Amino acid sequence: MARRTGRRPGNPDTREAILAAARSAFAEKGFDGASIRAIAAGAGVDPALVHHYFGTKDQLFLAVMDAPIDPGTLIPDLVAGGRDGLGERLVRTFLTIWDSPAGAVGVALLRSGINNDWSARLLREFLTSQILRRVLAGLDLDPAEAPLRSSLIASQMAGMALMRYVLKLEPLASAPAEAVVAAVGPTMQRYLDADLSAVRAALG
Amino acid sequence: MARRTGRRPGNPDTREAILAAARSAFAEKGFDGASIRAIAAGAGVDPALVHHYFGTKDQLFLAVMDAPIDPGTLIPDLVAGGRDGLGERLVRTFLTIWDSPAGAVGVALLRSGINNDWSARLLREFLTSQILRRVLAGLDLDPAEAPLRSSLIASQMAGMALMRYVLKLEPLASAPAEAVVAAVGPTMQRYLDADLSAVRAALG
């Protein structure tokens, strides 16, 4: 039925049903565990219709999160420069997005993620599958350490967003982006590069 | 009237009126700008009664925030050891509190702070006046850099709390405290010690 009207908007009820089924599947099973087949079944439609309306599983997840930006289009370029200076590039790109009108969506995502467990799980999956995994994918890192490095990177990034955009703690709140890059970039670089053997020993 | 019944609970309506007046004064004028005299006037009581019910301005602020722990009793000991290793001691103490039942109050504070501007201002004042200022007070730091260092410390601390206790990103969420200390301690130490001249140049 939707084919005649083109890819968007399609039937709004069908779209909503797919989004609702996708939201619960991603929250319950995670991004990797949620299949398009199961999402389609949850919405009572054919899997082909899910692809027709939303494209790939990544794109469906971006639609669920109302993400204003597709990290999949930004991150490969960022990582292509290699690990040298990646800490600063990560912070700079992050700030470019958060200082733009898209930042309001970021704050809303953070807010919903902190407000209930359901949104927290979605936000965690979004961070992991759409951002962190892509950042680390192009780097030659020990796979046993990658999740630790990415959770540390996420902690500094999210905390910076919290202080700069939500709690508005000065001077971080109104500092020019390059000052934040100079201050926080080396932390990100350390989380990419540092010897984590002491941390891994304590992890057991 | 309250004198006969001792310091607590006193008249519940009077207590509530003082707390409400204090809450708006701290949010509107900040901790330093809010005077006991103005808070008493806002509640329609004598300033002596505010002291009688709540003690010092710091204690009144702790009551406003429902803080389960008085940072003023913890931080001086922490800082007394000097700047060496303070990064790790800060993370360790923070985790001891957040891993305890008091952590639930921390999550609630973070949640309310992120949900509306009013609570965000209170939380920012709490961070600044009750925690960060005390951490930096005992150290021989350039006063021009202290606010920058404390906002960076706060960003990493809050982000770590967000990932470990709210979004529950692994392995940070279930790592033993000492693994987190080993991973995040050096970042805190860097924010205490690092040469910030490049950051200050970018701050203008």
Are B16 and B55 within 8 A, CB to CB? no
Provide ipTM, 2 decimals. 0.88
Size of interface A-B (CB pairs under 8 A): 154
Residues of B in contact with A190 (CB under 8 A): 186-187, 190
What is the arithmetic mean of pLDDT over A87-104?
Answer: 93
DSSP string, A61-85: HHHHHT-SS-HHHHHHHHHHT-STT
Instruction: Name the pLDDT band for A10 (thresholds 50, 70, 90).
Output: confident
Q: Which residue of B has its CA nearest to A27?
A: B167
Q: How close, in Å, is residue B102 to chain A by CA atoms?
A: 18
The C-alpha atoms of residue B40 and residue B123 are separated, in whole angstroms, by 22
B11 confidence band (pLDDT: 50, 70, 90) = confident
* Domains of chain A and any CATH numbers: 2-65 (1.10.10.60), 71-203 (1.10.357.10)
Answer yes or no: do B202 and A187 touch at CB < 8 A: no
Contact between B170 and A183 using a beta-carbon 8 Å cutoff: no
Tokens of B38: 């103005």
Question: pLDDT-based confidence at A4, cuts 50/70/90?
Answer: very low
| Residue A175 contacts residue A73 (beta carbons within 8 Å) | no
Which pLDDT belongs to residue A1? Answer: 40
Among chain A residues, CA nearest to B118: A167
| Interface mutation vs chain A, best among B155, B180, B199, most A CBs within 10 Å | B155
- Count Cβ atoms within 10 A of the Cβ of residue A194 and give its class: 0-12 exposed, 13-18 middle, 19 or more buried: middle
Mean pLDDT of A83-108: 92
Best of B94, B167, B170, B189 to disrupt the A interface (most A CBs within 10 Å) is B167
User: Are A187 and B156 within 8 A, CB to CB?
Assistant: yes
Half-sphere exposure of B171 (CA within 13 A, CB side): 18
d(CA A113, CA A111): 5
